Amino acid sequence: MSNKLTVWIVEDSVMEACQAWKVVKEVYGEDTAVYWTGDFNWPPKLRDAPRPERETVDPTGYPDIVVLDLCKRTSAGESLQGDFLYAKFRTWEKQKTKGRPAFVIIWSLYRGWEETADFVKTTVTGDNWVIPVDTKRPELLRTALVGLQKRVAEQKAND
């Protein structure tokens, strides 16, 4: 496993993906490997920038952190989609021969929507590697990422 930190951003809004990208780079540095997908399909079609016109890439290894939006914007409003990707991702991670699961930061508006709030509550209760962020404000994402710095560094040193 590489000592380089790897972060995936799953976010259907390019503007919000750019915000998350910027925060990740500010907190962890420019040499952090960051990948983005604008949909919730599995396996994800990752790009090396939050720009849909970029070619997809195939990063090696597992991410250390996933910044996960839960809802896709549709003509009918928000639709919970991140639960599918989360479940597939955790199943895929079980193939790891060493290391720990990735931290998953839920960076999504979920309060006030029963389906998403239930998913977050159940997931946080059953998965110690999930960190919910109450809103999609970049400063709250920054706080979550800063809070993970020491834990991620320790885990990578032990991998």
CA distance 33 to 28: 10
Report yes or no on whether pTM surpasses 0.85. yes
End-to-end Cα, the chain, rounded Å = 7
81-105 residue pLDDT tens: 999 999 999 999 998 877 789 999 9
DSSP 7: E
Report CA dihedral (148, 38, 94, 103) to the nearest 10 degrees.
10
Average pLDDT, the chain: 91
107-120 residue pLDDT tens: 987 766 788 889 99
CATH numbers and ranges of domains, the chain: 6-158 (3.40.50.2300)
In sequence order, what are the beta bridge partners of 67? 9, 105
* Cβ proximity of 73 and 40 under 8 Å: no
